[in-house]
Structure 1
């Protein structure tokens, strides 16, 4: 069944380019010309991923992302004309799964979209073929529904956040380097960086901290990350 991509950009030329490129890749598309329309479509038509421009009228892409992240983990790929590292990190910390700056190659956007969709669809069976929940102390992850909780409290995660946490939780004694996490999530050659991995880990700690988790992920200096004790006590 074809995946559906919501393309949200106030520039009709950019929407046309992306819709054409995504259609050639076998994907269905929906278009939105401003932030409010994008949010409404995302909430009512349940696309599989949203390509989201940051600078849009009525509601900018950052606010659309904030509102979507408050409700769930719809994959988001940001588009922006601002090639600035601060904007890039803000985008990741809000919960974006990837980030492309303008001008861009439509083929590059399609490649990144397909990478996120592959991770969403195919990564879970590799981790938990039986489809059962992964539990580690108070932490519970359901690979089939992509839901996470701490001591029974639901914690909404992005696709990338869920992938990082699941990778760590399934091998609790292993310390993963940032490069190892990047390879697990995207495969070699994709545009995740050490800094974006660190941003996602900060997000995970903050989200689970609100649910009462104080030891979710441990940092091993000079090496990487591993799952924390997640103890019951």
Structure 2
């Protein structure tokens, strides 16, 4: 049985009750909130492993809530929305969400995606040390045990998928990874013309860790092939 804590955030009581039944049956410890402000208050006092977050909510909507979550926390965030357009999905992913499920949804799908995110979160070192857990290059340090990234001593907040991409590249300096390889490894699903998704995440990482994102030192593009990590001297 699961032992992780999941925070469910939605202003529709029926959805909270439905998801609570399915997650509860799997043994997850559940917390609920009906708006973004309540969610942030809960995160401030509880240790949460995953957030399921509705987009359309009163007081503070899911987009703004996700932005504020990413200012402080690294746990996976799954967005729920009645909007099924690709642009809405891209918006959610670009602000730090790790997955997106459109309403109406099958609760078993939400549960399966949550399990996948939690497995990846734990496996990539968010909570477990894996031996030699620190990767250093110039002023950049990636600690896979604490899921912590620092640049010149300042902590940089990455989403779980951003961290996964950075760790994958940093563990293999000089090796070129195609967008297909990155997507298959980090998203743990077959590549389905998702090059733009990988590009968005790489751009976000560069904006956070590079001195000049337009002239990246750490994550370099190999045109027509993919990306590689170059440890600077």
TM-score (norm 2): 0.90
Give 3-state SS (helix, strand or coil) of 2:125's partner. Answer: helix
Aligned to 1:220: 222
1:36 shift after superposition: 0.9
Give 3-state SS (helix, strand or coil) of 1:73's partner. Answer: coil
Give 3-state SS (helix, strand or coil) of 1:202's partner. Answer: helix
1:49 shift after superposition: 0.7
- Kept in 1, the 8 Å contact 2:6–2:30? The answer is yes
Aligned to 1:168: 169
Q: Closer, same or farther in 2 for the Cα pair 1:218/1:153, shift >3 Å?
A: same
Mapping of residues 3-152 of structure 1, within 5 Å: 3-124=4-125, 129-152=130-153
Equivalent-residue separation in structure 2 for 1:122 and 1:132 (angstroms):
12
Aligned to 1:202: 203
1:209 shift after superposition: 3.4
Aligned to 1:183: 184
Gaps of 5+ in 1: none
TM-score (norm 1): 0.90
1:211 shift after superposition: 8.6
Q: What is the RMSD of the two structures over their aligned residues, measured on CA atoms?
A: 2.3
Equivalent-residue separation in structure 1 for 2:20 and 2:192 (angstroms):
22
- Kept in 2, the 8 Å contact 1:80–1:101? The answer is yes
Equivalent-residue separation in structure 1 for 2:231 and 2:175 (angstroms):
15
1:128 shift after superposition: 7.5
Deviations 1:96-120 (A, max 9, x none): 1111111111111111111110011
1:60 shift after superposition: 0.3
1:40 shift after superposition: 0.8
- Kept in 2, the 8 Å contact 1:140–1:148? The answer is yes
Equivalent-residue separation in structure 2 for 1:190 and 1:76 (angstroms):
21
Give 3-state SS (helix, strand or coil) of 1:124's partner. Answer: coil
Deviations 1:148-189 (A, max 9, x none): 012322111111111100000000121111221122223234
Say which is worse superposed, 14-23 or 210-219, in terms of deviation: 210-219
Equivalent-residue separation in structure 2 for 1:35 and 1:154 (angstroms):
25
Deviations 1:32-83 (A, max 9, x none): 1111111111221121110000110110011111111111312211111111
Equivalent-residue separation in structure 2 for 1:32 and 1:214 (angstroms):
40
Equivalent-residue separation in structure 1 for 2:150 and 2:14 (angstroms):
42
1:191 shift after superposition: 8.3
Equivalent-residue separation in structure 2 for 1:159 and 1:62 (angstroms):
17
Aligned length: 230
Gaps of 5+ in 2: none
Greater per-residue helix proportion: 1
Equivalent-residue separation in structure 2 for 1:95 and 1:175 (angstroms):
25
Q: Do structure 1's residue 153 and structure 2's residue 154 form an aligned pair?
A: yes
